[in-house]
């Protein structure tokens, strides 16, 4: 008989979405918060540009923010969700300020609001060019003060089961299995970037929550809506591509082709400030026109001191690769960046399976439509994380069915998955579903991905982080390719 611990709520993920959920749950709820590596290793910590808030209501309005979000999303957005996102933005920004988040200020002490591609107004709150880290650090401090929240690091959810009264989870931590159950499970597991050969995403972004929700029968929506960021630093040797923030273009940087000519005027009147999908597609078309993959981002016409003060992290990071942002154009190329689709949820972040919630990048609230507007995703994670918590606070007061935990069995297999499985999945996706998808390669890829998924699901493999993630990658790749065929 395995020992099963019960919690009132289990949150899987410690990015902004999971942390925001934890902070808004009632203090009398016994909460477990899991993350599969250290708490700070997540996409949230990598966010550079900032977080949207309709903060300066004299010069900006929710109506304008909603309009910009809908234009970027090609009007495929859920208007109700976008309206909530915008209307709750000032409130959550004030909450972050109360927690000590040190957003940059102007010389007269006001919050410094910056501009990014696709926005008609200056409305991005930022902390230099490391906004995500600043927010995550302050949220972690606040969550760690909560006596009702137990944090488990290096604790990977490797199995999620629906049981009478709730959910049972098998957690792998330092090769030990822990079995836990809860009436409310919140998936905050982030994106799927690691399904690609080149991505800006951190190592945790393997789509575990999405794959496990899919296996449970939850509805998954628009998983093929993937954003490719136009300006990742080009370095074919590195899989995790260093992002050069949208805000660099927002502050006047130009895009140049292999002849060092600006080219965006050929593709969009908003030039370098067009939304990401437009800029990434323009780069691919310009590649076809010039026959060259060489593209550059150039802000060297701006004052060096301004560049160093406004983008210290980007400046220093590029210097390590021997590029001086203040003096020369820097090579860039599009790469996978963000997932607009995910686990379908309602406005309280509840999935199609009652009691199973999804927040942040793994969820599909519909706020981003076809293409996310810059800096709307930290906001989405925080707003909808809060909303999931408020709803769970209500639901937890109602009488609940007694949980019957799942009888997980100890791991008996010893074989590792075949070497190169993950590499093969990444290579298929990079070719089949990049900025301009290739239908023929997608069809061929789907057949192979289907085989890999079957092999992982039915083979007798030892449950390791590698195995769990390979299964998640194969499942997400399968859903994506199936959707576009």
C-alpha 236/C-alpha 223 separation (Å) is 26
**Which of helix, strand or coil describes residue 73?**
coil
Q: What is the CA radius of gyration of the chain?
A: 22
Residues binding ligand FAD: what is the number (CB under 6 A)? 42
For 175, residues 6+ apart whose C-beta sits below 8 A from its C-beta are none
The number of residues making up the chain comes to 485
282 forms part of the interface with ligand FAD (CB under 6 A): no
43 forms part of the interface with ligand FAD (CB under 6 A): yes
Among 168, 181, 227, 377, contact with ligand FAD (rule: CB under 6 A): 377
C-alpha 240/C-alpha 250 separation (Å) is 23
Among 7, 10, 14, 477, contact with ligand FAD (rule: CB under 6 A): 14
Q: Which residue number, 215 or 400, has a Cβ lying nearer to ligand FAD?
A: 215
C-alpha 436/C-alpha 423 separation (Å) is 21
Applying CB under 6 A, the span of 46-54, 70-78, 217-225, 276-284 interacting with ligand FAD comes to: 46-54
Applying CB under 6 A, the span of 60-68, 91-99, 199-207, 299-307 interacting with ligand FAD comes to: 199-207
Q: Classify residue 97 by burial, with Cβ atoms within 10 Å: 0-12, 13-18, 19+.
A: middle
Q: What is the dihedral of CA 129, 130, 134, 139, to 10 degrees?
A: 120
Among 21, 44, 351, 371, contact with ligand FAD (rule: CB under 6 A): 44
C-alpha 78/C-alpha 369 separation (Å) is 7
CB of 131 to ligand FAD, least distance (A): 6
49 forms part of the interface with ligand FAD (CB under 6 A): yes
Q: Which residue number, 81 or 442, has a Cβ lying nearer to ligand FAD?
A: 81
36 forms part of the interface with ligand FAD (CB under 6 A): yes
200 forms part of the interface with ligand FAD (CB under 6 A): yes
360 forms part of the interface with ligand FAD (CB under 6 A): yes
Q: Is 372 designated active site?
A: no
Q: Classify residue 77 by burial, with Cβ atoms within 10 Å: 0-12, 13-18, 19+.
A: buried
CB of 158 to ligand FAD, least distance (A): 7
Residues within window 224-253 making contact with ligand FAD, judged by CB under 6 A: 243
Catalytic residue among 276, 372, 422, 426: 276
338 forms part of the interface with ligand FAD (CB under 6 A): yes
195 forms part of the interface with ligand FAD (CB under 6 A): no
Among 7, 9, 18, 278, contact with ligand FAD (rule: CB under 6 A): 18
Q: Classify residue 236 by burial, with Cβ atoms within 10 Å: 0-12, 13-18, 19+.
A: exposed
**Which of helix, strand or coil describes residue 149?**
strand
H or E element in which residue 457 lies? helix 439-458
Q: Which residue number, 66 or 442, has a Cβ lying nearer to ligand FAD?
A: 66
> Minimal CA–CA distance to 314: which of 330, 302, 301?
330
Residues within the interface to ligand FAD (CB under 6 A): 12-18, 34-37, 42-44, 46-51, 131-132, 156-157, 188-190, 200-201, 204-205, 208-209, 243, 338, 360-361, 375-378, 381
Q: Which residues are catalytic?
A: 276
């Amino acid at each position: 008989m395995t020992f099963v611990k019960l919690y009132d709520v289990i949150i899987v993920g410690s990015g902004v979405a999971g942390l925001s959920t934890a902070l808004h749950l009632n203090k009398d709820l016994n909460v477990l918060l899991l993350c599969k590596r250290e708490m700070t290793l997540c996409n949230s910590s990598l966010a550079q540009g900032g977080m949207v808030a309709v903060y300066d209501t004299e010069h900006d309005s929710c109506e304008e923010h909603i309009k910009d979000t809908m234009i970027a999303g090609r009007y495929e957005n859920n208007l109700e969700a976008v309206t909530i996102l915008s209307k709750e933005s000032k409130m959550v920004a004030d909450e972050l300020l109360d927690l000590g988040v040190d957003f940059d200020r102007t010389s007269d002490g006001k919050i410094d609001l910056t501009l990014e591609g696709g926005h008609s107004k200056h409305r991005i709150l930022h902390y230099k060019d490391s906004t995500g880290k600043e927010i995550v650090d302050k949220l972690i401090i606040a969550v760690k003060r909560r006596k009702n929240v137990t944090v488990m690091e290096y604790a990977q959810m490797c199995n999620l089961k629906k049981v009478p009264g709730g959910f049972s989870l098998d957690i792998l931590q330092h090769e030990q299995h822990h079995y836990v159950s809860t009436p409310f499970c919140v998936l905050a597991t982030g994106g799927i970037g690691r399904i690609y050969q080149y991505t800006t995403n951190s190592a945790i972004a393997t789509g575990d929550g999405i794959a496990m929700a899919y296996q449970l029968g939850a509805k998954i929506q628009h998983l093929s809506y993937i954003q490719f960021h136009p300006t990742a630093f080009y370095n074919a040797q590195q899989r995790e591509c260093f992002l050069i923030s949208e805000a660099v273009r927002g502050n006047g940087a130009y895009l140049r082709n292999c002849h060092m000519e600006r080219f965006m005027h050929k593709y969009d009147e908003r030039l370098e400030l067009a939304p990401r999908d437009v800029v990434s597609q323009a780069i691919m078309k310009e590649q076809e026109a010039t026959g060259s993959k060489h593209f550059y981002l150039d802000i060297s016409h701006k004052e060096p001191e301004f560049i160093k003060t406004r983008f210290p992290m980007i400046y220093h990071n590029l210097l390590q690769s021997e590029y001086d942002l203040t003096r020369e154009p820097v090579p860039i190329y599009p790469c996978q960046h963000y997932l607009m689709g995910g686990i379908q949820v309602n406005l309280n972040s509840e999935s199609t399976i009652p009691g199973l919630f999804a927040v942040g990048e793994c969820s599909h609230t519909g706020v981003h439509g076809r293409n996310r507007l810059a800096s709307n995703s930290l906001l989405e994670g925080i707003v909808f994380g809060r909303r999931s918590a408020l709803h769970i606070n209500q639901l937890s007061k109602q009488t609940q069915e007694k949980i019957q935990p799942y009888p997980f069995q100890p791991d008996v297999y010893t074989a590792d998955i075949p070497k190169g499985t993950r590499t093969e999945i990444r290579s298929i996706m990079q070719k089949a579903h990049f900025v301009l998808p290739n239908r023929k390669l997608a069809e061929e890829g789907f057949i192979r991905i289907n085989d890999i998924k079957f092999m992982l699901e039915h083979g007798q493999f030892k449950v390791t982080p590698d195995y769990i993630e390979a299964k998640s990658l194969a499942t997400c790749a399968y859903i994506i390719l199936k959707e576009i065929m």
